[in-house]
């Protein structure tokens, strides 16, 4: 057990802060867009409308993706909301995209970059 | 083989007893949500990684023993989630693919798949435990 | 002393009832109150959709969304289940090899009885659905059971519903064991499950009449009144449990089989919620 923890801790230290400070490259935004709108991927658009011209048949179960920088001055908080919306509201209909392995951690980072523009 | 099982068992045991004391798992989730898989957080004065137990086990040396141990643990957890009535759609498929990968000598692939199956099954069991306590919160109240 | 005692008793009763007013009815057989649950669900719908009369909830989403209602009314001009009704009637009246028929298995010859299903069978300690009774009738008479989800069983069920149109659902919960089955169904309905962490209530209570892509989930009230249905997505007629299986699968769960005990309990809970509403099956749905 101790061995495991220390190994993990070392691994963790080496990477501190990298997830949030990651690159904002166009490629990442494009990937986020594909996940957001892809029916067999994130399918975020099923519930959240967004003012991207490619949007088709957006749902309204959840709030519109707008003014994200104002709503989430701390980008990591937005990431956390996607990772598990039930942490703040246990009755939320939103699937815990990270906690339940629906998207990978990298995919979540990409979606954050994409929607943070709106 | 024995060593891995015991590490996993101790980790799992410790996790579940911690959860009842409120919240190693809550602290873990909060940190993982903010930072992803490569973060760290402190809990009760100790520093931990945001890597899951399953991810840690899957990063052990890829060999037959380790793959089989992880597969067996995942299969047992899956059964538990099934008996709880909270098994998830893809877990069985991951187990099947993991088994095939072991047979084909693709141990890293087998370990990654078993890790994913184990994580899903573990979350399914947690979902049952949560539902037991909280399903009533969703019922519309009487006015 | 006596006075003090009774006053105290009075106080505690008042306190208890006040608590009950503020909370939901219980999570245990001792505290769950199906009738209060039914009224609370109606109240919820009234608050969400003040313009929709209670009797309209038999029409699913068409009770609350005008646009889809217009499309549906057009479809109902030439009901897509008409052929199924004809086949169902024919099957219902075709004798088994032993000369007996479905009419011999049911009260009133099987006509006009849909509103009494599902019911609690106290000898067997289980909920009996109409489809289950249809298949048991066959087996008792030496016939093979039908598949649960579509085809003949849905057609026979459709015909039996049709002969009951306009009758009010009157599901009874006669004792604590029946109440336990009801509670099990209620708990299933409100519990989040599957990789997507969705309960029935997430989509059909909180999420009803809100878009998931281009789809509007129907309100939970009145769900069971119009089954079996011809669903455009299926392209043919199917039973309630076929739909349950699909819903359960959509939560990304390893889904239960039609007529499993849990699904029967769910149907028991949902149909009790529909008490006072009329049978209007079979139906046509998107």
The CATH number of the domain where A44 resides is what? 1.10.760.10
Contacts of C186 in chain B (CB under 8 A): 139
Q: Are residues C148 and C178 in the same domain?
A: no
Residue of C nearest to A49 (CA): C213
| Catalytic residue status for C247 | yes
Q: What is the rounded average pLDDT of the residues B84-101?
A: 98
Q: Which one of B5, B23, B39, B129 makes the best mutation probe of the A interface by having the most chain A beta carbons within 10 Å?
A: B39
User: Would the pLDDT of B115 be above 50?
Assistant: yes
Q: Are residues C72 and C190 in the same domain?
A: yes
Distance from CA of A23 to the nearest CA of B (A): 14
User: Which pLDDT value is given to residue B23?
Assistant: 83
Q: Which residue, among A59, A45, A48, A65, has the nearest Cα to A115 in the 3D structure?
A: A65
Q: What is the pLDDT of residues C202-244, one digit of tens each?
A: 999 999 999 999 999 999 999 999 999 999 999 999 999 999 9
CA-based end-to-end distance of chain A: 45
Residue C24: pLDDT band by 50, 70, 90 thresholds? low
Residue with tokens 């969703």, as numbered in its chain:
B138
Q: Which of C140, C162, C184 is the last residue of a domain?
A: C162
| 3 state DSSP class of C24 | coil
Q: Is residue A61 a part of any domain in this protein?
A: yes
Q: What is the pLDDT of residues C154-170, one digit of tens each?
A: 999 999 999 999 999 99
Q: Are residues C184 and C276 in the same domain?
A: yes
User: Would the pLDDT of B105 be above 80?
Assistant: yes
Q: Are residues C86 and C74 in the same domain?
A: no
Q: Is residue C158 a part of any domain in this protein?
A: yes
Q: Are C114 and C198 in contact (CB under 8 A)?
A: no
Contacts of A91 in chain C (CB under 8 A): 206
Q: Are residues C178 and C54 in the same domain?
A: yes
**Percentage, residues of chain C above pLDDT 90:** 89
Buried b (16+ CB within 10 A) or exposed e, B44-75: eeeebbbbbbbbbbbbbeeeeebbbbbbebbb
Q: Is residue A34 a part of any domain in this protein?
A: yes
Residues C196, A91: C-beta atoms closer than 8 Å: no
Residue C17: pLDDT band by 50, 70, 90 thresholds? very low
Q: Are residues C255 and C183 in the same domain?
A: yes
Higher pLDDT, C109 or C24: C109
Q: Of B92, B135, B140, which has the smallest distance from its Cβ to C191's Cβ?
A: B135
User: Would the pLDDT of C12 be above 90?
Assistant: no
Whether the complex's predicted ipTM surpasses the cut of 0.95: no
* Chain A touched by B128 (CB under 8 Å): no
User: Would the pLDDT of B9 be above 80?
Assistant: no
User: Which pLDDT value is given to residue A14?
Assistant: 38
Please tell me the total count of domains within chain C.
2
Q: Are B127 and B25 in contact (CB under 8 A)?
A: no
Q: Are residues C204 and C281 in the same domain?
A: yes
Cα(C114)–Cα(C132) distance, rounded to whole angstroms? 13
Q: What is the pLDDT of residues C257-281, one digit of tens each?
A: 999 999 999 999 999 999 999 999 9
Domain housing A48: 25-115
Mean pLDDT estimate for chain B: 88
Q: Are C113 and C106 in contact (CB under 8 A)?
A: yes
Residue C120, token pair as written in the block: 């609690």
Q: Is residue C122 a part of any domain in this protein?
A: yes
Mean pLDDT estimate for chain C: 92
| 3 state DSSP class of B90 | coil
Phi and psi (nearest 5°) for B68? -65, -40
Pairing of strands C236-238, C229-231: antiparallel
Residues C192, B131: C-beta atoms closer than 8 Å: yes
Distance from CA of A94 to the nearest CA of C (A): 8
Q: Are B138 and A91 in contact (CB under 8 A)?
A: yes
Residue A9: pLDDT band by 50, 70, 90 thresholds? very low
Dihedral of the alpha carbons of B25, B27, B28, B29, in degrees to the nearest 10: 90
Phi and psi (nearest 5°) for B102? -60, -45
Residues C191, B131: C-beta atoms closer than 8 Å: yes
Q: Who contacts C27 (Cβ-Cβ below 8 Å, separation ≥6)? A: B135, B136, C183, C187
Q: Are residues C178 and C277 in the same domain?
A: yes
Residue A24: pLDDT band by 50, 70, 90 thresholds? low
* Chain A touched by C237 (CB under 8 Å): no
User: Which pLDDT value is given to residue C117?
Assistant: 98
Cα(C29)–Cα(A4) distance, rounded to whole angstroms? 45
Q: Are residues C117 and C147 in the same domain?
A: yes
Q: Is residue C7 a part of any domain in this protein?
A: no
Q: What is the rounded average pLDDT of the residues B113-121?
A: 98
User: Would the pLDDT of C192 be above 60?
Assistant: yes
User: Would the pLDDT of B7 be above 70?
Assistant: no
Q: What is the rounded average pLDDT of the residues C132-161?
A: 98
Domain housing C137: 82-162
* Chain A touched by C15 (CB under 8 Å): no
Please tell me the total count of domains within chain A.
1
User: Which pLDDT value is given to residue A23?
Assistant: 53
Cα(A115)–Cα(A52) distance, rounded to whole angstroms? 10
Q: Is residue C260 a part of any domain in this protein?
A: yes
Q: Is residue C11 a part of any domain in this protein?
A: no
User: Which pLDDT value is given to residue B1?
Assistant: 39
Q: Are residues C99 and C133 in the same domain?
A: yes
User: Which pLDDT value is given to residue B142?
Assistant: 81
Q: Is residue A96 a part of any domain in this protein?
A: yes
Q: Is residue C26 a part of any domain in this protein?
A: no
Residue C25: pLDDT band by 50, 70, 90 thresholds? confident
Residue B54: pLDDT band by 50, 70, 90 thresholds? very high
CATH number of residue C123's parent domain: 1.10.760.10
User: Would the pLDDT of A7 be above 50?
Assistant: no
Residue C148: pLDDT band by 50, 70, 90 thresholds? very high
Q: Which of C162, C184, C202 is the last residue of a domain?
A: C162
User: Which pLDDT value is given to residue C4?
Assistant: 37
Helix axes A105-115, A26-37, angle to 10 degrees: 100
Distance from CA of B138 to the nearest CA of A (A): 7
User: Would the pLDDT of B116 be above 50?
Assistant: yes
Q: Are residues C144 and C69 in the same domain?
A: no
Q: Which of C162, C196, C219 is the last residue of a domain?
A: C162
Residue A91, token pair as written in the block: 């009755």
Partners of C238 in beta bridges: C150, C229
In whole angstroms, what separates CA B113 from the centre of its chain?
12
Q: Is residue C14 a part of any domain in this protein?
A: no
């Amino acid at each position: 057990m101790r061995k495991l923890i220390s190994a993990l801790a070392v691994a963790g230290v080496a990477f501190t802060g990298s997830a949030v400070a990651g690159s904002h490259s166009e490629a990442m935004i494009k990937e986020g867009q594909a996940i957001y709108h892809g029916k067999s991927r994130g399918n975020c658009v099923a519930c959240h409308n967004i003012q991207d011209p490619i949007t088709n048949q957006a749902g309204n179960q959840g709030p519109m993706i707008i003014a994200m920088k104002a709503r989430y001055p701390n980008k990591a908080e937005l990431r956390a909301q996607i990772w598990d919306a039930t942490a703040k509201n246990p009755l939320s209909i939103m699937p815990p995209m990270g906690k339940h392995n629906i998207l990978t951690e990298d995919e979540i980072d990409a979606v954050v970059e994409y929607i943070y523009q709106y | 083989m024995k060593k891995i099982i015991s590490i996993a068992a101790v980790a799992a045991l410790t996790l579940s007893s911690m959860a009842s004391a409120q919240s190693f798992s809550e602290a873990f989730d909060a940190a993982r949500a903010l930072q992803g898989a490569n973060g760290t957080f402190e809990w009760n004065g100790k520093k931990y990684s945001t890597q899951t137990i399953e991810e840690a086990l899957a990063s052990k040396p890829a060999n037959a023993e380790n793959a089989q141990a992880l597969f067996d643990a995942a299969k047992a957890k899956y059964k538990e989630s099934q008996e709880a009535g909270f098994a998830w759609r893809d877990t069985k498929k991951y187990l099947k693919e993991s088994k095939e990968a072991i047979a084909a000598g693709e141990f890293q692939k087998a370990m990654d798949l078993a890790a994913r199956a184990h994580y899903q099954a573990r979350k399914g069991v947690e979902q049952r435990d949560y539902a037991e306590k909280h399903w009533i919160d969703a019922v519309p109240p009487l006015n | 002393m006596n006075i003090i005692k009774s006053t105290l008793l009075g106080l505690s009763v008042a306190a208890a009832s006040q608590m009950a007013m503020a909370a939901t009815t219980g999570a245990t057989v001792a505290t769950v109150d199906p009738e209060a649950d039914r009224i609370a669900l109606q109240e919820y719908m009234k608050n969400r959709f003040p313009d929709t009369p209670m009797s309209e909830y038999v029409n699913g989403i068409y009770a609350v969304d005008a646009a889809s209602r217009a499309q549906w009314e057009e479809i109902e001009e030439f009901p897509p289940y008409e052929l199924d009704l004809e086949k169902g009637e024919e099957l219902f009246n075709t004798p088994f090899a032993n000369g007996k028929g479905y009419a011999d298995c049911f009260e009133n010859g099987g006509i006009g009885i849909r509103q009494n299903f599902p019911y609690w069978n106290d000898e067997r300690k289980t909920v009996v659905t109409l489809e289950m009774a249809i298949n048991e009738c066959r087996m008792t008479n030496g016939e093979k059971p039908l598949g649960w989800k579509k085809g003949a069983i849905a057609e026979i069920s459709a015909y039996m519903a049709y002969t009951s149109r306009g009758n009010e659902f009157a599901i009874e919960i006669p004792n604590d064991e029946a109440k336990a089955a009801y509670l099990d169904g209620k708990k299933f309905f409100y519990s989040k499950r599957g990789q997507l962490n969705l309960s029935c209530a997430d989509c059909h209570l909180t999420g009803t009449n809100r878009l998931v892509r281009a789809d509007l989930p129907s309100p939970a009230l009145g769900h069971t009144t119009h089954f079996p249905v011809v669903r455009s997505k299926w392209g043919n007629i199917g039973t309630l449990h076929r739909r349950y299986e699909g819903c359960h699968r959509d939560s990304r769960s390893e889904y239960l089989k039609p007529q499993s005990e849990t699904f029967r309990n769910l149907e028991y809970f949902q149909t009790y919620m529909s008490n006072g509403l009329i049978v209007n099956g079979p139906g046509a749905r998107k």
